[in-house]
Structure 1
Amino acid sequence: MIEKLQLIILVILVPTFLCAQSTYQQKKEQYSKAVESLQTEDTTTAIKLFQESIQQNDDAPSYFELAKIYWQRKDFLLRNKAYEYMKTAVMKDEKNIEYKYFYAEICKSFAKDESVNQWNEIVSIDKTQIRAWINLAEFSGSEFSEWDKSIRQFIIKDPVSPIIPPEIINVQLHDKAAKDYAVAVNYYEQALQIDSTNYNLCLALGLFYAKNNKPFLGIKHLRRLEKLKRADKDIYLCLGLLYYKAKIFNESYNAYYKALSLMLDAEKEDFTFNSVKYILKTAHSEMNDDELRDFIFDYWQTNDPLLVTDYNERLLEHYSRVAYANLCYSIPRINLVGWKSNQGEIVLRYGEPLGRMRIRPSTIGGMHKGTGYEVDSKYMITSGIKEEIWSYQDFSLRFVDPFFSGNFQFSPEQLIYIENLRKSKPTTFDPKFEGPIFNLPYQSYQFASNNRAQTDVYLTYEINYLDSATSKEKFANGYDVALFMFDGYFNKKFENKKTISFVKESSNSVVNSLLMELAPQAGNLAFEMMRKKDKGVTAYHGKYNIKNFSGDELKISDVVLASQVEIDKEINGSIKRNNISVLPNPTRSFTKNDQLFLYFEIYNLAKNKNSTTDFEQKITIQKKEEGGVVNSLLSVVGLDKEGNKVTLSSKYQTQEKDPQMYLQLDMNEYEPGEYVITVTVKDNVSGKEVSNQTEIKWQ
């Protein structure tokens, strides 16, 4: 009897099992057909089959696939369906990580907290999900950016007594921002423990620290990928920005160069031309693109603030502005590239703002009297829009986000001002260098060259070791010094670059001179120095005219105020003119304890019938600011006929038509002040006269 019962049960169970298996196959077959239609790009059929599968089977995979299809559509109702379908799919298969990622992606645009919940659930299911850790970190990082340097304005109104003036209270949001920053860092650290060489993780960390001005923390993560030969264009772009913010400019230049070499033509065109055209075209609207390309090339050359380096600091700043704008202000969902946004344009033109204040939507509520005013929550409603105020050295700009889209735009009332700003001030640039900036006194002196078609130009500078900015310690490793001359179109005509080693000496200062020999011309001179030890720099650029000493006319060189003059004896750092060494004092400042010499040269003196020259030299000393007389010197050099100058006259007869002249002045009886010293030479043979002058500060 028992055996018969078992047989009956077996007979009953087998058909039941076969029926269930058949039903499962039908469900699977229906879903598979829908997927096949999707793979052949027959989306219409796929949608129909997925919908039928949902109606008949209520299966999570079909909800998921339909959500993906609808989310790609621009129709609001269909995208809302995508959200509902994805929510259902996640509820039906709570452990499916793929579903949770997509659901979180959908929620990012309108339900950020739900996205965070999904990412947290993902890492609770699988702690090795780096993508989820990165998403959590990026969310907290964006929250930090949202609230950092932000205030919320509470506008308090009395609902009972509206005649009472409203009170505005600013509440700082820095504490919330600091918490978000710490949370973001913690999430990134969690991901690093899983895989410190993950590409997306390292790039996200680099961008995070670039945004928050902590470049050294970001560099190490991107360098890790570079060492593994896994760096691409985006890694090098981020590295370029991080190195720039860290003031490691040579590495920044190399990183940008590598990034440009890996870019597609269109992106490279943005970096090298379109973004530059954007800021210069307003001021040069008459140029076509070919003319503008030539102008841009010259623009970078003329605006390079430090020629002694192997890179162009102005161009480096531009690349960094483009990279920063793209990093901070791009909005991918509307295909807006960062440097083309309103905020990106301002960064492109003027750099990052010196100051930034974010004003978040205000709140209106009731007001009650007590120990202080308290906001009654039942009256509170949100109002207003997001604002940002950016401050620069001489102007401020206001941006608004009326649609809460993240796309901050120029405030409407400032549009005319901004258009005028584009024209009057297309761009600004304050040079940034790796080391500190220091000042050096320098002077240039011009003399006739042995080849009269040329001119000898000497530039003399002094390093004062008693000045803390130029102490011996700072020059202990030596320095690079350079002298450049360009024509009016900034074509290089001369370059003299030297590396000077530090020489231990007991003196409190050192003087050196650089020489260039060039044809007379008007152009631009650049004198630069960079210390080896701390990359400290000094740079002087400006228009410069090289005099013409050719021809037969009577001429005089520049007048040199010198601390020492020697014949047939070399002086370190001096100007060497034939057998005479002249050590200028580029500060032109002297005291009673200093020797004071004047040195100059006269050219083309006429000769008399005895083949000798006959000329008179006058040295006139005049108080610079007063034009008055120095009474203590009257007995030494006397007054001129007007009674307002002190003049020393000497007469000479020589066989040299181009004599080198020097004399020592004794100004010990002078009162402190600034004086003008004029040298006048009258050729008694030709009757011609020539003069030149210099200034001295007597202490």
Structure 2
Amino acid sequence: MIRIFLLAVLTLGNCNSAFSESDSEMVDALLSSASDTSLSHSRRVGMMEKAARKDKTGRAMHAFARYYLNQNTVLSRQFARQWLRRAIKREPDNVDYQLTSAEIYWQSENRDKFYEEVRQVIAQNPSSVKALYWAGRHAAREMVYNLERETLHSGPERKKRFNYGAYGLEMRNQAIAYLTEALNQDPDHRRARTLLGQVYYEGHQPEELAELFKAYILTHPDDWHAYFFMGLGLQAKKDLDSAFNVYSKGLSRMSETERHFMQSIGMLVDRDALEESDDLPDDEALRRFWKGRDPLFLTPSNERLLEHCRRVAYANLRYGDPDRGTDGWETNRGQVYIRYGHPGSRNIYLDRANYVLLRETWSYPGFSVTFERINENRWNVLEVWMQGTVRSRYKDLLERVPEHYEDPYWLRQYDAPHQVAQFRAEDGKTRLELYYALPGEEVGHAEISSGVQSVDLRQGLFLFDAEWNEVKNSVQPLKKMPWIEGNIILEGYLFWGERLSLDPGSYHLAVEAEDRKAKTLGTFRDSLQIRKFGSENLELSGLLIAQRVVEHESRPFGRDRFMVLPNPLKQCQRDGHISFYFEIYNLSRDEFGATNYQVTYQTRLLPESHGEGEPVPKWTTAVSNTFQESRSWEPNYLKLDMQGLAPGPWAFRVVAEDLRNGQQAMSTAVFRVMP
């Protein structure tokens, strides 16, 4: 009897063991099936309930808790907590269960309780990467909140900015310690590394940010985000050339869709097009877009594209959703930041009960955008205010202000007065004469001889065709420049000129002159439509405004026979004079080779501002001259006396008429008479 009983007990024990193994496999299978998000809620819940009945541990109950936690509602969190309590009762020392309990507090906005539970886990298990990450996330959040608090709105009350001070420093240091330890335990923990990068950037430690991702790139050379975060650190250190180089490496590692998406934000008005990869601009369109926005061609990097990369890097660092795996550039706040940059001011609105952000308003020159918080990392655009309107749609803002960018050189940059005039050249080309002036007060200079000053400039002339393909790129030092002496009305200025032979068509022109010592920048840009000169009908060149024109009769016939002292300011004194140089083409000749033509000079005073419907002033004929020459084209010039002309803007027109065939041609220029 005894032997039979013992055998029965042993047999029963072996059966229980086999049954437990079978149950464990069934639990695994049920939980795996229940993780299929394509199934209905009832089917998933049914599978997890069946798994919970078979499970001797708390694993299935924990899966239930995670399922409800991911729904992120008040009721679902209650269900999650109920299932989690049962799981912890089964396995009280399970770290994952304790961390899920902490996440419920995080989702419920109970940050203090969350932080307490996470630190308890770290005390029990100092190598828990997940606990270290969550502790670092809490500390980083507290650091950022205190750092960014500029104006707090809590109901009708307005409070002054909180002091970052000791608490902010403490939170920054805690965040760095937790996240660094998390990376020591798991160097590939991407969320911990990204968050640590944010802490370094917001905590004004750009060198540490750059080094953090420089090390990561060594083992992850194809991760474009890492290059952008490293570039963000380098740019914050003012190492712009290195930053641009690193950003370029990141761009080259993006997929074609990612690169087009990244570079299109700010270019497209229709936000839906950003989400439809088929509608994104191609590489050529993007190249033209960014080339035309380079604020200074003298530098090797495109500062506007550099700023765009910085904004993308910061948006991904600051506004991403690590819980959903969403990059910051895909979020509402991220896209607004990329388009418009850092706001001039930022107002945040708090829930006074639990000290949680509800809304925040970003203010820019002429408009503001208010975001409404959905949860920790999701924000929607609530409303947009634009100057002169009560309330606007976000789409209206994009149409009126597609981007905002402040030129980094504006404090030391000034407009260089300039003029261009077009003349016929050989082989169907057009001669472009351009002149610009640099006011004496903007440039360091010293007299070398009468009419010549020594300078220390770096000058760049940049010419592009209509598609922003480079036609000319000339950068050279200037050590001396011609000088026009000023008087009590007009200041003295330096000037420079250039002649270009171009094919007819559309061009973009930029000239930049930097004083190497004072670091001032004289610049101008112009869109040019280079005309095509024909060979049959009477044509007139552009008018070149000049201080004076001197004809050297000993020189051969042609443009170089005339010394033109340009007037790029396009100004003259009321009691002075102004000159114009021009050329007439395709004059007809009789059987003896003689031409017969008339040139009429006309002026009219222009209004300072011309409203719609106002009458246009009539032309007044100053003088007409008749010429009989022997060449089919003639250079000509006129010295116009300003005596008696009223101060203000004036138009000057030359009308040429071929008296043999009646053809006419005309050309106009605008100048200003100073009082």
- Give CA deviations for 1:277-305 in whole Å, capped at 9, x if unaligned: 975366899xx965x34578426514631
Indicate the residue corresponding to 2:668 in structure 1: 693
Indicate the residue corresponding to 1:258 in structure 2: 249
Indicate the residue corresponding to 2:116 in structure 1: 117
* Alignment partner of 2:422 out of 429, 446, 453: 446
* Alignment partner of 1:602 out of 584, 588, 593: 584
What CA distance in whole angstroms lies between the structure 2 residues aligned with 1:205 and 1:133?
Answer: 12
Cα drift, residue 499 of structure 1: 0.6
- Give CA deviations for 1:570-595 in whole Å, capped at 9, x if unaligned: xxxxxx93444434221112348988
Cα drift, residue 445 of structure 1: 0.6
Cα drift, residue 113 of structure 1: 1.8
Indicate the residue corresponding to 1:73 in structure 2: 67
Q: Which runs of 5+ in 2 are unaligned?
A: 1-13, 33-46, 70-75, 447-453, 484-491, 609-616
Indicate the residue corresponding to 1:171 in structure 2: 159
Partner of 2:479, secondary structure, is: coil
- Shift of the 581–351 alpha-carbon distance from structure 1 to 2, 3 Å rule, reads same
Indicate the residue corresponding to 1:480 in structure 2: 460
Contact 1:152 1:362 in 2 (8 A): no
Q: What does 1:57-96 correspond to in 2, within 5 Å?
A: 69-74=63-68, 76=76, 79-81=80-82, 83-84=84-85
Indicate the residue corresponding to 1:428 in structure 2: 403
TM-score by length of 1: 0.68
Cα drift, residue 209 of structure 1: 4.7
- Give CA deviations for 1:591-638 in whole Å, capped at 9, x if unaligned: 489884321111122234542333343444444449xxxxxxxxxxxx
Contact 1:480 1:532 in 2 (8 A): no
- Shift of the 472–328 alpha-carbon distance from structure 1 to 2, 3 Å rule, reads farther
- Give CA deviations for 1:249-272 in whole Å, capped at 9, x if unaligned: 554443333224444677557536
Indicate the residue corresponding to 2:323 in structure 1: 333
Contact 1:101 1:118 in 2 (8 A): yes
Indicate the residue corresponding to 1:511 in structure 2: 495
Alignment-mate amino acid for residue 496 of structure 1: K
Contact 1:314 1:431 in 2 (8 A): no
Q: Does 1:182 align with 2:176?
A: no
Alignment-mate amino acid for residue 108 of structure 1: W
Indicate the residue corresponding to 2:537 in structure 1: 553
| Range moving further from structure 2, 458-467 or 310-319 | 310-319
Cα drift, residue 685 of structure 1: 3.6
Partner of 1:73, secondary structure, is: helix
- Give CA deviations for 1:404-441 in whole Å, capped at 9, x if unaligned: 54422233899994265277448224364467543111
Alignment-mate amino acid for residue 611 of structure 1: G
Q: Does 1:394 align with 2:370?
A: no
Cα drift, residue 562 of structure 1: 1.8
Indicate the residue corresponding to 2:9 in structure 1: none
Indicate the residue corresponding to 2:512 in structure 1: 529
- Shift of the 278–601 alpha-carbon distance from structure 1 to 2, 3 Å rule, reads closer
Partner of 1:343, secondary structure, is: helix
Partner of 2:323, secondary structure, is: helix
What CA distance in whole angstroms lies between the structure 1 residues aligned with 2:99 and 2:445?
Answer: 62
Instruction: Point out the structure with max Rg over C-alpha.
Output: 1
Q: What does 1:143-542 correspond to in 2, within 5 Å?
A: 143-146=142-145, 148-149=148-149, 168-172=156-160, 174-175=161-162, 180-187=167-174, 190=177, 203-210=194-201, 212=202, 214=204, 216=206, 219-222=209-212, 225=215, 232-242=223-233, 250-263=241-254, 270-271=261-262, 279-280=269-270, 292-293=279-280, 297-298=284-285, 301-302=288-289, 304-306=292-294, 308=297, 318-334=308-324, 336-362=326-352, 386-401=358-373, 404-411=375-382, 417-418=392-393, 420-421=395-396, 424-425=399-400, 427-430=402-405, 432-433=407-408, 436-451=412-427, 453-467=428-442, 476=456, 478-486=458-466, 490=467, 492=469, 495-504=471-480, 507=483, 509-521=493-505, 523-529=506-512, 531=514, 538=523, 540-542=525-527
What CA distance in whole angstroms lies between the structure 2 residues aligned with 1:412 and 1:663?
Answer: 61
What CA distance in whole angstroms lies between the structure 1 residues aligned with 2:618 and 2:520?
Answer: 53
Indicate the residue corresponding to 2:572 in structure 1: 590
What CA distance in whole angstroms lies between the structure 2 residues aligned with 1:193 and 1:333?
Answer: 20
- Shift of the 463–190 alpha-carbon distance from structure 1 to 2, 3 Å rule, reads same
- Give CA deviations for 1:29-72 in whole Å, capped at 9, x if unaligned: 99x97998599767699999999998xxxxxxx66x66764554
Contact 1:454 1:517 in 2 (8 A): yes
Contact 1:619 1:649 in 2 (8 A): yes
Alignment-mate amino acid for residue 540 of structure 2: I
Indicate the residue corresponding to 2:37 in structure 1: none
Alignment-mate amino acid for residue 333 of structure 2: Q
Contact 2:23 2:54 in 1 (8 A): no
- Shift of the 316–280 alpha-carbon distance from structure 1 to 2, 3 Å rule, reads farther
What CA distance in whole angstroms lies between the structure 1 residues aligned with 2:90 and 2:167?
Answer: 31
What CA distance in whole angstroms lies between the structure 1 residues aligned with 2:666 and 2:96?
Answer: 88
Partner of 1:654, secondary structure, is: coil
- Shift of the 38–138 alpha-carbon distance from structure 1 to 2, 3 Å rule, reads farther
Cα drift, residue 561 of structure 1: 1.4
What CA distance in whole angstroms lies between the structure 2 residues aligned with 1:234 and 1:294?
Answer: 22
What CA distance in whole angstroms lies between the structure 2 residues aligned with 1:259 and 1:624?
Answer: 54
Percent identity of equivalent pairs: 19
- Shift of the 108–666 alpha-carbon distance from structure 1 to 2, 3 Å rule, reads same
Q: Which runs of 5+ in 1 are unaligned?
A: 1-25, 55-61, 156-167, 364-381, 570-575, 627-641
Contact 1:137 1:188 in 2 (8 A): yes
What CA distance in whole angstroms lies between the structure 2 residues aligned with 1:227 and 1:341?
Answer: 26
What CA distance in whole angstroms lies between the structure 2 residues aligned with 1:390 and 1:193?
Answer: 32
Contact 1:564 1:596 in 2 (8 A): yes
TM-score by length of 2: 0.70
What CA distance in whole angstroms lies between the structure 1 residues aligned with 2:395 and 2:481?
Answer: 57
Alignment-mate amino acid for residue 518 of structure 1: L
Cα drift, residue 447 of structure 1: 0.4
What CA distance in whole angstroms lies between the structure 2 residues aligned with 1:106 and 1:125?
Answer: 20
Contact 1:203 1:222 in 2 (8 A): no
What CA distance in whole angstroms lies between the structure 1 residues aligned with 2:199 and 2:22?
Answer: 42
- Shift of the 341–314 alpha-carbon distance from structure 1 to 2, 3 Å rule, reads same
What CA distance in whole angstroms lies between the structure 2 residues aligned with 1:112 and 1:318?
Answer: 34
What CA distance in whole angstroms lies between the structure 2 residues aligned with 1:350 and 1:604?
Answer: 53
Alignment-mate amino acid for residue 436 of structure 2: Y
Give the CA RMSD over aligned residues. 5.2
What CA distance in whole angstroms lies between the structure 2 residues aligned with 1:276 and 1:670?
Answer: 48
- Give CA deviations for 1:468-527 in whole Å, capped at 9, x if unaligned: xx55699846133212231xxx364x6111112030569464323344433434x35332
Q: Does 1:617 align with 2:599?
A: yes
What CA distance in whole angstroms lies between the structure 2 residues aligned with 1:192 and 1:342?
Answer: 27
Partner of 2:587, secondary structure, is: coil
